[in-house]
Amino acid sequence: MLRCEAPVFRPRTLDEAFAMRAAMPDATVLAGGTDVMVYLEGGVLKPTRIIDLWGCPGMRELRFTTGGQVYGAGLTCTDVLRAMHSHPLLRDAAATVGATQIQNRATLGGNICNSSPAGDTLPVWLALRAEFELGCVRGFRRVPASGFWRGYKKIDMQPDELLVAIRVPALAGHMHFRKVGTRMAQSISKVVFAGRYSVGKEACLAFGAVGPTPMRCTAAEAALVSGASINEVVSLVEQEVLPIDDIRSTALYRRKVAGRIVRRWLDNLPRA
């Protein structure tokens, strides 16, 4: 039986949500609850009050602009899987989050702001050069995914800000998502990868669960673009990742698997 007497505030508009956040910077922000409820049950989170964004209008839409897609932060993984035109790389990630019951509640914004280094969708945002749209009573600003996760569970977000949407530009290239966990569903990643590669032009090799934040292997990316061999790229990936030993895996295993994921992907790409 969960004992949490914290009051819950449920904004009915985005502006009301910003006003609440400005008035209550100490509040815990709740969306689908799939992380917050676990923290409450485990006693690691003792909120004084809660702002509940579940059902807040305007946050659960997928919109299309001339430059790409805009995902509402309140979209669930199931929403992504059901939407006709959601990005294939994001669909692959959404399908690996928990299982159906979790996907029905877990939100994109929750995954991003919870900022677990193992968050399954996080490397996707890096690979897609996404921008996070943060809003507050003072206005809006955009932060590139590449600069959002500053350290272990540290994010570039002010106490009065809320994540409203994720902007994804239209990009071409080969793409690949791979999650390695103990089991196909309901497992937390040992290693998670999202990659994008336009031959000879641009590469993004993004990993989760191999460092304190989701991260890119920039030296390996540069080598790949400049035509280095797969062996060289893989070797750089293995050097660049920063894994640790923990309850889910070992640093050595993660380092090897990170390289292996990239090797298998590149091995199977059509030669340019």
Partner 1 sequence: MIVRFNCNGRSVQVDTPPMARLLDVLREDLRLVGSKEGCGEGECGACTVRVDGEPVMSCLVPVAQIEGCRVQTIEGLGNPIVHAVQTAMLATGGAQCGICTPGICMSAAALLDVDPHPTPDAVRVALAGNLCRCTGYQKVIDAVCGALAEREA
Residues forming contacts to partner 1 in the complex (CB under 8 A) are: 1-2, 4-8, 10, 30, 33-34, 37-38, 40-42, 50, 52, 54-55, 78, 98-102, 104-105, 184-186
Q: How far is the CB of 100 from partner 1 (least distance, A)?
A: 6
> Which of 8, 170 has the CB closer to partner 1?
8
**What's the closest the beta carbon of residue 35 comes to partner 1, in angstroms?**
9
Angle at 207 between CA 183 and CA 73, to 5 degrees: 85
Provide the minimum distance between the beta carbon of 173 and partner 1 in the complex, in angstroms, as a whole number.
Answer: 29
Shortest gap between Cβ of 75 and partner 1 (angstroms)? 14
Q: Tell me the two tokens of residue 164.
A: 């409203």
Nearer to partner 1, 55 or 58 (CB): 55
Q: Which is nearer to partner 1, 184 or 244 (CB)?
A: 184
Q: Looking at beta carbons only, is 1 or 272 nearer to partner 1?
A: 1
Rounded to whole angstroms, the Cα distance separating 115 from 109 reads 10
- State the minimum distance, in angstroms, from the CB of residue 2 to partner 1: 5
Within 13 Å and on the Cβ side, how many CA atoms surround 174? 19
Q: Which is nearer to partner 1, 82 or 154 (CB)?
A: 82
Instruction: Kindly state the tokens that stand for 37.
Output: 């409820």
Q: Rounded to an integer, what distance in angstroms lies between the CA atom of residue 199 and that of residue 271? A: 9
Q: Which two tokens stand for residue 208?
A: 């989760």
d(CA 177, CA 194): 4
Contact 217, 237 (CB under 8 A): yes
Alpha-carbon distances of 140 from 21, 36, 164, 178, rounded to whole Å: 14, 25, 9, 33
